[in-house]
Chain A
Amino acid sequence: MDRMPRESYSRSASQDVRAAMGSALARYIEGLSFDTGDGGQPLKFAAVFSEWPSYLDRNVDPSACVLPGSWKYGPALLTPAFIEGTWEPVGMPGWGLWKTAEAEVEFELSLRATSPAERERLILGIEDAFQTTGREVNRILLELPTYYGLTARYSLLSGRVIDNEDQAMREQRDAVLTISAQADKVVLQPVTPLALNITIKSVGTSPS
């Protein structure tokens, strides 16, 4: 039976696992709405960059950036680890994703507001946004559409407010939140179904 062409496999990756986690995090933060506390129009980030912006990206506050932090790969696996649910076509010679390591990244979400009050609302909203609804855990799951559609885990690690005499004068109210993220680093490899043959042999009987 011929193997399905690799091009027919429905999952693909256009970014490495770290960049994919950064992009998904930036999209998630950009989609958040923050309560202003006075019943007014909810506050939103004007922009959330997933990498260092370029010259044409004019700053409009409040804005944020998911700065690329360091990342590491977990220990090598002793045995191949196939990821269930990624075999296509199921039960036939095809393709699937094999986990080779777990990638762990520490992102720095750097944000800028124009007043301390605005910054407090943003941080409060982000803290709430990292609690899984209905489950009191400091973690959320986000899909990585640019990395095989896998899922990454995110949790808040730490934060700090950046104030000094110069930035306060300029109303540059900055804060940095550190966010830990983990996802499987995978490779797309052929999957071949095991052909199980059962042969029954009778022993000790003679043909009549």
Chain B
Amino acid sequence: MPADRTPVLPELVVPEQTGQVHPERNVRDSLIYDLAPDIDEIRQIPVDLGLRPYRVFMVHVAWTGKRRGEGQPYETSRREILPMPKITNMDATTFMLRGYGLTEEGGIAVTDISLQFTEDDLTGKTPDLTDPEVARTGRRNAEFFWEVVEMRPTPPQTIPRRYVPRSVPNRKATGWRIGLVKQTGDRARGQTFNRTSA
């Protein structure tokens, strides 16, 4: 009498032998990536209706000195996440009264991020991590962060809030989701970094 786990049909235990199951061979040709432009068009509908009040940017800044905080900062790249993603828990960024004044702490989750972005994009490892000629995240004088800016119909301009990823981006069926944590060092209203070509 055979043991309990002895298969009658070996292909049921090793299904890949049949050739019917296998990893995705070409991600770009998959249905979801075929539909990605259409999904983005659908995402644009709530944006056009004014239901997405926050613009979200990924920013690289370099300093003129040898490390962060030395010299003057200048922006080397700024990429907006389009279509505008969804932030459902802005109130998870809370006020804390510290000895230095009222600070903002906590974090948010950004969802419905287009599949055109990659994990490296979202964590600041692109456009270039290592090129020594370009000040990017691989250098000690460069920094990467996200900025979330509320759109409002009346002045004054809002204060851009600064975050960094606190979790590995999670690729859901039709888009990315990522958790961000609040950083200090928000720009003042209307303040810009010196723009230079990277």
Contact = CB atoms under 8 A, between A and B. Distances in A.
Nearest to A57: B101
B102 interface: yes
Given A36-B71, A115-B69, A52 B185 contact: no
A53 interface: yes
A169 B102 contact: no
B34 to A, nearest CB: 38
B98 A59 contact: yes
Contacts of A60: 101, 188
B183 interface: yes
Given A38-B64, A117-B65, A171 B183 contact: yes
Given A53-B99, A53-B102, A169 B71 contact: no
Interface of A: 36-38, 40, 47, 49, 52-61, 63-65, 67, 110-119, 169-172
Contact of A55 (B97, B166, B181): B97
Interface residues of B, number: 25
Contacts of A36: 71
A56 B182 CA distance: 20
Interface in B56-94: 64-65, 67-72
A40 B101 CA distance: 27
A56 B95 CA distance: 11
Contacts of A171: 183-185
B150 to A, nearest CB: 16
11 contacts: A37-B65, A40-B71, A53-B100, A56-B102, A58-B101, A59-B100, A65-B99, A112-B184, A114-B184, A116-B69, A169-B166
Most buried by B among A53, A56, A64: A53
Contacts of B69: 113-119
Given A38-B64, A40-B71, A55-B97, A61 B184 contact: yes
B158 interface: no
A23 to B, nearest CB: 16
B117 to A, nearest CB: 22
Contacts, number: 86
A61 B72 contact: no
B68 A115 contact: yes
Contacts of B67: 115-117
A36 B73 CA distance: 12
Given A170-B105, A171-B185, A61 B100 contact: yes
A54 B95 CA distance: 12
A169 B185 contact: no
Given A38-B64, A61-B184, A169-B164, A112 B70 contact: no
Contacts of A119: 69
Given A38-B71, A40-B72, A117-B65, A55 B100 contact: no
Given A115-B69, A116-B69, A117-B69, A170 B182 contact: yes
A37 B67 CA distance: 13
A112 B102 CA distance: 13
Contacts of B64: 38
B101 A59 contact: yes
Nearest to A110: B99
Nearest to A120: B69
Contact of A59 (B68, B71, B102, B183): B102
A47 B70 contact: no
B17 interface: no
B105 A47 contact: no
A21 to B, nearest CB: 17
A58 B96 CA distance: 10
Contacts of B157: none
Contacts of A58: 101-102
